[in-house]
Amino acid sequence: MHTTSCDRKHDVYDGSCPCRQVLDLLANKWSALALGALENGPHRFGVLRERLDGISPKVLTATLRRLEEQGLVDRTVFPSVPLHVEYSLTALGRDACAPLAALREWVVANIERFPAAGAKTGAR
């Protein structure tokens, strides 16, 4: 298999590789869903909380902070009373959306192939 210099420099299977932290962040369900929710444009915290059914405000806050720290999401504060804060994707965040969207689509298309998930959806 052909490897590039980048492939040799970074090995996601190596425990000390910084790729691990990024993979951990992007593979987190709330991160993947938050990035997907922001694909169509900026949203306020409350809109994101409603869109991400089941997420607590504490977890959403932590998720958005991690995404912002890693340069995937921008947080914009508008001077108003009360404060107006919007979250939007950065260029890096938009780049991450394509593979995450493909994974979400694959999951939806194949959900019935998973025994536990198929049993839950069949019970409706």
For 50-101, what is each residue's pLDDT tens digit? 999 999 999 999 999 999 999 999 999 998 888 899 999 999 999 999 999 9
pLDDT at position 97 is 96
**What integer pLDDT is reported at residue 82 of this predicted model?**
85
Whether 6 shows a pLDDT value over 60: the answer reads no
Q: What's the rounded Cα separation, in Å, for the pair 116 and 120?
A: 7
Q: What is the pLDDT of residue 99?
A: 95
Comparing CA positions, the residue from 44, 117, 51, 105 lying closest to residue 78 is: 44
Q: With 50 as the cut, is the pLDDT of residue 30 above it? A: yes
**Domain total for the chain?**
1
List the CATH number of the domain containing 103.
1.10.10.10
Task: Tell me the residue range of the domain where 70 lies.
Answer: 5-122
Report which listed range, 2-6, 96-100, 111-115, 117-121, is most confident: 96-100
Token pair, residue 37, equals 């929710």
